[in-house]
Structure 1
Amino acid sequence: MDSELIDKAIFSKPTNNAVLLALIGLALCYLAFARLRNRNPKTGVNPPPTAPTFQTPLPLPFNDASPTTSAPHPYRPFQHGPNHITMGIRKLDWNDWIEMDANFLPYHATKVAELEKDLPAHVQCADDERTRDACYETLEELVRFLTHRYPKVFWLDGGRLGNEATGEVFSWPAGSPTEALVVAAKLVQDDVILMVERDDGQFHLDAGAVCLPGFWRLREKFGLSLDELHFEAGVPHYEQKLRKSMNRFFKSMTPEKAVTRNNFFIQIDDGLHWSHRMGDQNGDEVASWATADSADLKLEEIYFRSERQTLRRLPRSGALMFTVRTYFEPVTVIAKEPHVPGRLAEAIRQWDETVSVYKGKKHWEHLLLPYLDEQHRLQVENDVLQEHVEREFPY
């Protein structure tokens, strides 16, 4: 349509040059307006790369009788061979966006306790139109998914949203962005983080419902850009190997292309919501392995902490939505699984010095590695490895 208007302006037969110039001027103004109307009128930030008409595919109903009795997925995201520094993303099956299992109720209880103790410490939303809309959209997307994926648990009836597993009933729709995030936190086992693009062209952590972070505080990260988050956290090799690819990937994400990834850490206590050996949850000192207290550490206190992260672009607001689901088990439990102790020990030994410092290796290696080696030796001697096929990554 734009080119057609220009063609008519140039190739018609005007009565004088003034008319010709006027038509050309109108055509150029139309083109400029067409471009400007596709930008956010308040921020100038580009809209999502695809049309806002995209609708998240509805998931298939969960097959099992009750998702709250299903065993958690045994994610074991470590491999044989060299430790390559990559984003490690995989395509997300929309049916598996939000996982629900037998840990739902204890996770929910911990999240509710944290929210009641100090809600502002766990829920934040920047006061701008796009971020507020992203908070509402987050809850809308979650409710649409959950009521179709787990219809025996979640229901929506007029102005009420219910959870049969907990007996909770929420007002629908949410009355404020903060309320939307609080409800979202109570509906899923995941933490939720929203990255919103600002005028500087960077995505910033401008909203979140973070109840189970383990060793970081939302107030320390709130408002930081993607680069600032990674630099502040000291993510290994971010500048050299990840920065350009991550920024490029974030910019190019479209609503229909969601991804997932897994990671893992070793934790030296049993705090799902907060690792107390890393520092005071309510303190001002940034928690890190530099502040960790591993004195008198025992093997039974060492936990395997794994995250399943999903990332998608919300179609209406254009915000990037992260979900972070934590899986948390004693290493003495996962080391009983075939192939796991040997492969985990191998993966840890492949870390370079930068990764080793970032993951606190010096605090626990003297206990964990000999134990894993011994468990691997026993599995070899008892033909466990021959009897069980090793599963593919990330299991």
Structure 2
Amino acid sequence: MLVISIILICITAIAFYTSPKKFKDSYISKFNDKFSKYFRTPNSTPASSRKPSYSSNEPLKDPTPLMITPDQVKNYDDRPWRPFRWPYHQTMSIFKLDMNHWLDMDKYYWRYIEEKKRIWMTYGKENIDWLPEGYEPSFELMQIVTDHMLKRYPLLFTLVEDKGEAGGKIVYNELTKETLDMTLPLKEQPLLYVSKMAKEDFYVVLKNPKDDLHYLVAAAVPFPGGSFGIDSKLGQHLDVIHEDVPYYKEKLKRSMERWFDRLTPNDPVERASWYISWDHKLKVNNVYQLPKFVPDLKADMESMDPKDFNVRVERQTLRKLPKSGAIIFTNHPVFYSIEEMKDEPLVPSLIRKILYEGPQDIIKYKNFDFFRDYIVGYLDSLVKRQIDLGIISEDTPLKTLPTYPFAHWSKTDFDLVNGWNNPKEKVNYLQKAKEEKVHKNQ
């Protein structure tokens, strides 16, 4: 899902820069007061008041130390993403990134890191590779990620030795019990060290001075979600990478380079996109499987209980490095079962609406039409359940939640709190993930 993720980030950013102020200040309509009790809480910050991405001359602040131990991480959750919008083409969907949340921590950290190692050992440069010109920005990224982890998570990452700018660092990962020797000369490529510290995927995009265009020069992407590797995209210009993406040629091709040029190191942004599958795999989800690996994908899909279908949220950030000028795109998947969201106002209704009435090119791109008829009865039952329980009524307006892109019950402003611990019932899918059949490309 790399291609559509990058494109949607840039489309929404361009829309912001070119929209009148009145639109910027009111891009999400308020619900009728009759229904506000279902969505707002006194301590929550609605999406419409979160700051979108502005160019800023203020330097980035160091992250606030989050004093959690490895044992506490086991009960820690990512922020509760709910990036469901209606109308689906609604544009304002990026926000200025609080650097405290650049590389978030959660209870699935160990799974991400173990999967990265497995995928690197099994598939190698299909998922992690670099060009010679990608070394310098990858090295800078390694230094920035290292400093971020040491400052943000001082009880999870320990500085063993610091030999200065010319000598490098040795860091101990308290979560994986691994010593990362990043003294110079490096023993491994910088992206491999990055992948041993952070659970995110990383894409490194660099401007070529010969033509002033941006190219993918390095990437550590073990979790693309779809049936593709970065080996076919490395060294390619953004237009080539995105030629099959819906609406790229019509809405973005002419503007993407200008937006990348405009981005500064002080303007990191974040957003989230989503799709649906019936598994928790990180490398290739079943919904994007190829016939040569799963000859009868429909039978595989229909063997699952609709209650086992998941929303895979792709949580994404975009920032520019200060020295090399490289643009770093990060992504990591967060899974939420539809079942665990069944009593969240309008969530089943929004998912159903988008599956059938979203833009046709997006429906096809995300394979919604492959499985939607199989789970629509389940979704309808959840909508009826919400009406019967009084969570919504039959005439509740079907609109983006005011707390977008987060759950309605999240009673906090995430930019002001030091971390996040989910107060709701704990959901852990690790055992299910271990039991899922793994195909040759997964």
Please say which of residues 141-150 and 363-372 is displaced more in the overlay: 363-372
**1:205 and 2:209 are equivalent in the alignment:** no
Amino acid at match of 2:237: S
**1:99 and 2:104 are equivalent in the alignment:** yes
Distance 2:341 2:113 in 1: 23
Query: More helix per residue: 1 or 2?
Result: 1
Amino acid at match of 2:62: L
- Return the offset for 1:122: 2.1
- Return the offset for 1:253: 0.7
Structure 1 segment 193-272 matched on structure 2, within 5 A: 193-198=203-208, 199-215=210-226, 216-231=228-243, 234-272=244-282
- Return the offset for 1:263: 0.4
- Return the offset for 1:383: 2.1
**1:334 and 2:334 are equivalent in the alignment:** no
- Return the offset for 1:336: 4.6
Q: Where does structure 1 lack aligned partners over 5 or more consecutive residues?
A: 1-48
Structure 1 segment 143-182 matched on structure 2, within 5 A: 143-158=146-161, 159-173=169-183, 175-176=185-186, 179-182=189-192
The residue that corresponds to 2:418 in the other structure is none
Distance 2:351 2:83 in 1: 9
SS in 2 for 1:70: coil
Per-residue CA distance 1:152-175 (angstroms, 9 max, x = gap): 101222142111011011102364
The residue that corresponds to 1:17 in the other structure is none
Amino acid at match of 2:341: I
The residue that corresponds to 2:202 in the other structure is 192
Does the 8 A contact of 2:94 with 2:269 survive in 1?
yes
The residue that corresponds to 1:116 in the other structure is 121
Distance 1:308 1:174 in 2: 33
**1:57 and 2:57 are equivalent in the alignment:** no
Aligned residues: 332
Distance 1:185 1:220 in 2: 20
Report the CA distance shift for 1:50/1:356 in structure 2 as closer, same or farther (over 3 A). Answer: closer
- Return the offset for 1:306: 0.9
**Residue 132 of structure 1: which of 125, 135, 138 is its match?**
135
SS in 2 for 1:377: helix
Distance 2:68 2:96 in 1: 24
The residue that corresponds to 1:393 in the other structure is 404
**1:369 and 2:376 are equivalent in the alignment:** yes
Structure 1 segment 27-42 matched on structure 2, within 5 A: none
**Residue 274 of structure 1: which of 271, 284, 304 is its match?**
284
- Return the offset for 1:264: 0.5
Amino acid at match of 2:277: Q
- Return the offset for 1:205: 1.0
Distance 1:385 1:343 in 2: 12
Report the CA distance shift for 1:78/1:302 in structure 2 as closer, same or farther (over 3 A). Answer: same
Does the 8 A contact of 2:135 with 2:190 survive in 1?
no
- Return the offset for 1:276: 4.7
**Residue 77 of structure 1: which of 71, 76, 83 is its match?**
83
The residue that corresponds to 2:299 in the other structure is 295
Report the CA distance shift for 1:304/1:313 in structure 2 as closer, same or farther (over 3 A). Answer: same
Distance 1:177 1:384 in 2: 57
Distance 2:95 2:172 in 1: 32
Please, what TM-score do these two structures have when normalized by structure 2?
Answer: 0.69
Distance 1:170 1:126 in 2: 23
Does the 8 A contact of 1:268 with 1:301 survive in 2?
yes
SS in 1 for 2:254: helix
SS in 2 for 1:155: strand
Distance 2:187 2:382 in 1: 49
Report the CA distance shift for 1:115/1:317 in structure 2 as closer, same or farther (over 3 A). Answer: same
Per-residue CA distance 1:121-165 (angstroms, 9 max, x = gap): 22211112xx21101111111111111111110122214211101
Report the CA distance shift for 1:59/1:378 in structure 2 as closer, same or farther (over 3 A). Answer: same
Report the CA distance shift for 1:155/1:220 in structure 2 as closer, same or farther (over 3 A). Answer: same
Amino acid at match of 2:215: H
Per-residue CA distance 1:166-224 (angstroms, 9 max, x = gap): 10111023644952101111211110110011122221111011111111211122112
Amino acid at match of 1:294: K
SS in 1 for 2:113: helix
Distance 1:184 1:191 in 2: 9
**1:317 and 2:324 are equivalent in the alignment:** yes
Distance 2:65 2:333 in 1: 23
Kindly indicate whether structure 1 or structure 2 has the higher relative contact order, using CA contacts under 8 Å at least 6 residues apart.
Answer: 2
Report the CA distance shift for 1:169/1:127 in structure 2 as closer, same or farther (over 3 A). Answer: same
Distance 1:221 1:90 in 2: 27
- Return the offset for 1:329: 3.2
Does the 8 A contact of 2:82 with 2:405 survive in 1?
yes
Distance 1:367 1:220 in 2: 34
Q: Percent identity?
A: 27
Distance 2:131 2:188 in 1: 10
SS in 1 for 2:239: helix
Amino acid at match of 1:329: Y
Q: Where does structure 2 lack aligned partners over 5 or more consecutive residues?
A: 1-54, 162-168, 394-400, 407-442
Q: Which has the larger radius of gyration?
A: 1
Distance 1:69 1:348 in 2: 32
